Structure formats: C-alpha cells, structure tokens
C-alpha cells in the first residue's frame, strides 16, 4: 500500500516538471540560471533591464493598431480586407524608420521600452532591417532564449530594454 502511494508522488513530480517546463525542472535539480539579462551584463530591475513579455506584447499591440489605422485611412481606400494586407508593410517601414533612428517604435516609447545593441548603444541600420524582417515573419519572434529575447533579437544582436 505504501509503495503505491510513493509511485503516485513520483508520477506527480514527473508530471509537474513536465508542465512547468525544462527550466523549472533544471532549477529543481540545482542548476543556477541567474536572472534574465545577467549573461548580457544588464541589471536585474529598473532602467536597462530586459523588457518583460507583457510590455513587449502591449507595445506590439499599440504599434499594430496604429499601422492598421494608417493602412485603413490612407492606403486601402476604406476596404477593411485590404487594410490588413497593407498594415504589415506599414509596420515594417515604421519599425525600420523609428527603431533605426530613435531606437523605439511609438508603442515601445509609450510603454517605456527601447531596442539597443547587445553591447549597449544604438543598433545599426542593417541590424534593424534584419530584426524587422525576422519580426514580420513572426516565427523567429516567438522562439525565445532563457533571457526572454526572441530569435529575431538574438540574430540581430539586439536587446529590448526598459527605459
């Protein structure tokens, strides 16, 4: 009877580690990952720290809504179907122009975020173009590393930080 109970506990631990993910399972085994951005030499909290996922999604939502509004009002002739097609082009152009010049899009600025190079400072225009193209493809943006950076940021050697 006692051995059956022990088997259930082991199964719960195995299922719990599977649900919580590989990082939590490794941390339970004693692996120390540090905080997000530590490997990049960024602070844990405050200005210059890695931007949290919620703020980044919020900034993306604001930017996308702005691009839809511009596409609907200026480029689509009032057709909603055509506006969604144009919005992606407007988003790409806006991202290259704003991130390439001031380091942030309007949505990022409203939520206190900025895109910088890994070593600090401004991100160069070729890296901005690469980052934007990968962001438009969506798939690289949803593959994250342990610092919470998307593949598009890793390949462009960029970091999205709090202002």
| Nearest one of 121, 135, 127, 125 to 101, comparing CA atoms | 125
Helix or strand holding residue 66 (H, E): helix 53-70
Which stretch of 15-19, 26-30, 151-155 has the lowest confidence by average pLDDT?
Answer: 15-19
Q: Are 159 and 103 in contact (CB under 8 A)?
A: no
Element counts in the chain: helices (H) and strands (E): 7, 2
* 128 and 69 within one domain: yes
The string of pLDDT tens digits covering residues 109-131 is 999 999 999 988 999 999 999 99
* 79 and 138 within one domain: yes
The string of pLDDT tens digits covering residues 30-73 is 667 778 888 888 998 999 999 999 999 999 999 999 999 998 88
* 102 and 48 within one domain: yes
The residue that leads in pLDDT, 163 or 15, is 163
* 39 and 19 within one domain: no
Q: Can you give the residue range of the structural domain that contains 10?
A: 1-33
The string of pLDDT tens digits covering residues 140-155 is 888 988 888 999 999 9
* 118 and 93 within one domain: yes
Q: Are 96 and 136 in contact (CB under 8 A)?
A: no
pTM comes to 0.78
């Amino acid at each position: 009877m006692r051995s059956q109970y022990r088997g259930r506990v082991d199964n719960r631990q195995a299922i719990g580690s599977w649900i919580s993910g590989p990082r939590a399972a490794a941390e339970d085994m004693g692996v120390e990952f540090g905080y997000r951005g530590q490997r990049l030499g960024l602070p844990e909290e405050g200005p210059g720290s890695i931007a949290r996922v919620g703020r980044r999604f919020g900034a993306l939502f604001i930017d996308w809504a702005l691009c839809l509004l511009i596409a609907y009002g200026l480029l689509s002739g009032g057709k909603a179907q055509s506006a969604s097609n144009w919005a992606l082009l407007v988003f790409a152009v806006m991202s290259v122009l704003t991130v390439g010049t001031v380091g942030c899009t309007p949505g990022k600025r409203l939520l206190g975020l900025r895109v910088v190079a890994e070593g600090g400072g401004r991100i160069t225009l070729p890296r901005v173009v690469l980052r934007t193209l990968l962001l438009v493809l969506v798939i690289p943006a949803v593959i994250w590393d342990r610092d919470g950076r998307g593949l598009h940021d890793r390949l462009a050697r960029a970091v999205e930080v709090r202002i």
